[in-house]
Amino acid sequence: MGKVRNKRRMIIATTTLIIIQVIAVGCIIWTTPDPCPRKYKVLQEDGGMLAEYSDIHRYCDLDYGGNWKIKDEYEEEE
């Protein structure tokens, strides 16, 4: 009888941990900023918005991880 109770407690504890992990990962994904779309990283000749590659700073910012993130004023255009 004692072994059955221990198994039930472990199942509940495992389920609780999984639920907490799903919530934590969901919060991280939800708060991650949108990356810079391809059209703001490509020249006009290739279907993008840039006249020169240095124009990317008009549309996107470089974050601390070295990734381009779209600026707020251009985020709603998509």
In the chain, where the domains are located: 1-32, 34-72
pLDDT, tens only, 3-55: 556 666 666 778 888 899 999 888 777 776 668 888 888 999 988 888 998 88
pLDDT of residue 6: 60
pLDDT of residue 29: 75
pLDDT of residue 7: 62
Question: CA–CA separation, 17 vs 41, rounded Å?
Answer: 41
pLDDT of residue 25: 87
